[in-house]
Chains A and B, each alone.
Chain A
């Protein structure tokens, strides 16, 4: 062994080295985003969704036809250079209607998710934070409401209140928020006992500050997943209601009403079903894979 003697000088610990060798710590959301982006299916869902949203915004302007103008000479025309997606039984342009429908269907989905979010976060957050008897009462109330079969209630509401966008969203959210409330409450309960919240409590932070600064950001993950999965279920419900004849009334077009109008014509004019049905499926698919991807990316057990 030929090693020069001065190499055997004691130099001691190297603090910078000691710092550097510890693993570069990724922030939670950075870590989540790395894992999400590695999920090819979820990324495909994101791209799909972006395309759908772009088309929902610009699609109706891309054709010279209006979504509600009847043209009784041009009924049930197959897709061609004039009408890209063909026309329906009243000669309306299916392309224009499809993207108009995209607006409505996406709006319903997102609105339902947003309403669920606000009520759920408020209810669950308050119940979890307050605890004790208030929590008991609030969650029992939610339990009882939860017992009511969801779609039956929605149907009942639509029958009685009439078919409009507002009643539909109201009907969907009347029990829809409970899921969100439960998740938020569960998260709040588990977080409440953790030290950093206790610490800020001892420092005299008020309710609002603790909720806003600590609890909500930490519960964001599961909330995001739930919201992502609420959107497709609302779009699904809208289509279902349309099929039962409880959908939006003409001339308004949603994918659900278009698909159920197109169903009987499947044999002779399949495009009338094909386009709205395909986009319903694609949208639900996109939201589902994004939701799944988010859930997997957020799962701390998968963190390495």
Chain B
């Protein structure tokens, strides 16, 4: 167990190192200079800025400095807004994004598993088709379209929810729903197919031969085993929520890290793009690791000794 976690941690660090290195060098390839994009500054200002940010040093020194800074949880400055650092943006925006993300994950898990379970138990009946049509719609509609449509009808036209901003819990519902729609659809399909797979197992027949009723079989023997793949989907799920939040936060005017990131993209604020990317990578890779470890505790068959992932 400890050996497995150490091994996974080493992989995680190595992946992170690759990501940081890749972002660092990619950003050096970017056109223009970090302060202006393509415009030119007066040479003396340029020089003093370079001096201040250490850009006059050779690349390998800059690279080393950057690695050391990241290790100290310092994601660097913003070149567009002098007074703010990437850490400021993270401290400011991430709590908001985290709240929205967790709410969306809860919605996606609750509705998704419910739909999937109903669909599997009523396999090839109208409930199954209904649930799967909802799921296919959720997968087929890109989140920004879903969000805009939800916002237009539920907020602008029918005034059920506030249109935008981030003031009360009511403000969080619509964006969380929009953010949850795609992952919910994936979870519903995953739950359904894994339920069907479990239902076809011999041990379900054994349970039936014991005289257990449909409800007891579903609760005690089916759902638990069928939800194991859903647990392992939590990693990709959090990645989907993070990237989804870029779009959703922008549409609903939510002051989260996602909108800061999108803003930095349109401003070509390279250091912010770089810093936030690295930050997100740390969060996501840790989330995936935690999910895998949790999975090992939940599924008694898996012993976390080898590096192989149970698929």
Contacts and interface: CB of A to CB of B under 8 A. Distances in A.
A288 B139 CA distance: 8
Contact of A281 (B145, B262, B265, B284): B145
Contact of B139 (A153, A156, A259, A284): A284
B136 A148 contact: no
Contacts of B281: 148-149, 152
Nearest to A243: B144
Contact of A244 (B148, B246, B285): B246
Contact of A280 (B136, B142, B284): B142
A155 interface: yes
Identify which of A150, A243, A259, A266 gathers the most chain B CB atoms within 10 Å of its CB. Answer: A243
A285 interface: yes
Size bracket, chain B contacts: 35 or more
Contacts of B284: 149
A85 interface: no
Contacts of A161: 29
Interface in B281-304: 281, 284-285, 288
A289 interface: yes
A236 B244 CA distance: 12
B26 A157 contact: yes
Interface string A269-280: 000010001001
B23 interface: yes
A246 interface: yes
Nearest to A239: B142
Interface in B1-18: 11-12, 14-15, 18
A301 B200 contact: yes
A288 B14 contact: no
A232 B139 CA distance: 10
A162 B31 contact: yes
A144 B262 CA distance: 26
B247 interface: yes
B156 interface: yes
B145 A159 contact: no
A245 B15 CA distance: 28
B117 to A, nearest CB: 19
B140 A281 contact: yes
A147 interface: yes
B8 to A, nearest CB: 10
Interface string A236-249: 10011001111000
B303 to A, nearest CB: 20
B96 to A, nearest CB: 19
Interface string A139-166: 0000111011111110111011110000
Interface in A174-232: 232
Contacts of B140: 232, 281-282, 284-285, 288
B214 interface: no
A243 B142 CA distance: 10
Contact of A160 (B18, B19, B26, B143): B26
Contact of B239 (A150, A243, A260, A266): A150
A149 B265 contact: no
A180 to B, nearest CB: 15
Listed from nearest, the 8 A-B pairs whose CB atoms lie closest are: A147-B15, A285-B140, A151-B243, A284-B140, A281-B140, A243-B144, A160-B30, A277-B145
30 contacts: A144-B18, A147-B19, A148-B18, A150-B239, A151-B243, A152-B243, A152-B280, A152-B281, A153-B22, A155-B273, A156-B22, A156-B23, A159-B30, A159-B268, A159-B270, A240-B142, A240-B143, A240-B144, A240-B247, A245-B266, A260-B144, A266-B148, A273-B145, A281-B141, A284-B141, A284-B142, A285-B136, A285-B140, A288-B136, A288-B139
Given A147-B15, A156-B23, A284-B141, 9 more contacts: A159-B30, A159-B265, A159-B270, A243-B247, A245-B266, A263-B144, A263-B148, A267-B152, A285-B140
